Amino acid sequence: MRRVYLATLFVVLAGLTWSLGQQPQKIAALEPVWWRAIVAGGLANYQRRLAACRFAVIAIDTSGSIKWAPVPPVAIEGAGGALTRLEWEKAEALGTLQKLASLHLAVDVAGTGVVWKGATEPKVVVYAFNDEIRLIDLEGKGRAGAVPLRDLFEVRNGQVVLRASAENAVNAIKDTSRLTWLSGAVATACPFTQTVRPDGILFLYTDGIPTTPNKRGLFDPIAARRATVAEMARFLERCSTVILTGIDVKDTSAEKFLRDLGGSSEGFFYVNAAVCTQPPLPQPLNITFGGVTDLRLGLQPEETVTIEINWGGATGTNWVLLCDIQTGSAHFMGSPLGLSEFAATLSDGSFTGAGTAVVEFTVWETEEGLECDMSGDCVWRRAPIYLQAFAFDPGGSSYVSNLLVVELETED
């Protein structure tokens, strides 16, 4: 069965402000959301696919919805502040290149050059897409297209690092006001990965719903969805693996569309980075369910859940466990949360010292409303429940935990 996860690590950096008029910045690589979800989930199947990858395709959405989206209400550690959706995609793409290098490349015995670890040298291609496709010249030589992964890296201070030409090429990608030809982005990858099938991977970054079914086509989201569904099925059957990262996908219909896009294929992995950032800065407060802090939990209605609130700070600190059925950017006692202004208090208490508070509650059934697919079949879709802890110590300092997502299981 395919794997679907919603990574929900939330970082709050005090004192930062964001505005729609941000100046462009040079984006640094972030550890990919998809990698952290695969490792955290212990998904050996996808780890093997990554280790065996011989052709990687990275596709970056630069359509109008990317351009006009507001700055995310979170600051991402290591990124120099809040990022626009396109900047977020660039950071993920650069991180994907770095992760592939860590899996496939090494420093040679002389300590001055880069060699590949396996028997076959992996290749990579990066392209931007809106209502057409633009291949990226990663080497800065006027030749956009596929290149050996090794040619994009060099040795500096004994480490394999991305060359400036590749980093600059990704950073130079610009957003547009055009439509989203998502089916074209999938179809373009097939000729590259099909040659090494099943050892190719398409790393696809997008923010939601396709809007045109054709190159430089008209606005037709219904036809665009159908074309994308058909193209994805064709790719998974004839080409290779897909790792799809949803960038800031908060619309529920877009989330469901992307999450279900791979059907039941084992070659399809989806992760939603809607509120996902770098691993949290060291902080004394987090909430877990059975030791898990960042994965979607699938539970049945009326099932009892035991949540642990872990604290490593001062004695006498009070805590509150909040819940909501939607994410947002509300403030609680002056600190920004990952929940909306309608968040409710589920439980509260006080820590006697460093330790763990245990909260038990029964999961209730929630409904977002009627949702229909292309065939006209309609079902009530249950909304997930979001949990987040807040703590404040006697000295007046406040702390916000990670978000934990409880998703109710349902039959389509």
Asked if residue 70 belongs to a domain, the reply is yes
pLDDT in tens, 278-293: 333 345 687 877 655 4
CATH number at 13 reads 3.40.50.410
Asked if residue 16 belongs to a domain, the reply is yes
**Mean pLDDT computed over every residue of the chain:** 78
Task: Enumerate the β-bridge partners of residue 372.
Answer: 378
Tokens of 156: 């500096």
> Is 13's pLDDT higher than 50?
no
Asked if residue 156 and residue 13 are part of one domain, the reply reads yes
Q: Please tell me the distance from the alpha carbon of residue 18 to that of residue 334, in angstroms, as a whole number.
A: 17
Asked if residue 280 belongs to a domain, the reply is no
> Is 181's pLDDT higher than 50?
yes
Q: Strands (DSSP E) along 247-377, which ranges?
A: 268-272, 285-288, 297-299, 304-311, 318-324, 331-332, 335-336, 344-350, 355-362, 369-372
Looking at 272, 305, 328, which one is the last position of a domain? 272
Provide the terminal-to-terminal Cα distance of the chain, rounded to the nearest Å: 15
CATH number at 300 reads 2.60.40.10
**How many helices (DSSP H) and strands (DSSP E) are in the chain?**
8, 24
Asked if residue 215 belongs to a domain, the reply is yes
The range of the structural domain enclosing residue 371 comes to 285-408
Per-residue pLDDT band for 1 (boundaries 50, 70, 90) equals very low
Q: Please tell me the distance from the alpha carbon of residue 411 to that of residue 196, in angstroms, as a whole number.
A: 36
Asked if residue 316 and residue 235 are part of one domain, the reply reads no
Among the ranges given (90-94, 97-101, 187-191, 360-364), the one the predictor scored with the smallest mean pLDDT: 360-364
Compare 200 and 68 and report the one with higher pLDDT: 200
Asked if residue 294 and residue 238 are part of one domain, the reply reads no
pTM (2 decimals)?
A: 0.64
Rounded to 5 degrees, what angle do the CA atoms 168, 272, 292 make? Answer: 115
pLDDT confidence of residue 237: 93
pLDDT confidence of residue 290: 62
pLDDT confidence of residue 383: 66
Going 233 to 234 to 237 to 243, the CA torsion angle's sign is: negative
What total of structural domains would you count in the chain?
Answer: 2
Structure letter (DSSP) for residue 69: S
Among the ranges given (61-75, 259-273, 291-305), the one the predictor scored with the smallest mean pLDDT: 291-305
pLDDT in tens, 184-243: 999 999 999 998 999 999 999 998 789 999 999 999 989 999 999 999 999 999 999 999
Asked if residue 305 and residue 262 are part of one domain, the reply reads no
Instruction: Please state whether 376 falls in left (phi above 0), alpha (psi between -120 and 50) or beta.
Output: left
* DSSP, residue by residue, 233-268: HHHHHHS-EEEEEESS---HHHHHHHHTTTTT-TTE
pLDDT in tens, 120-161: 789 999 999 999 999 999 999 888 999 999 999 999 888 889
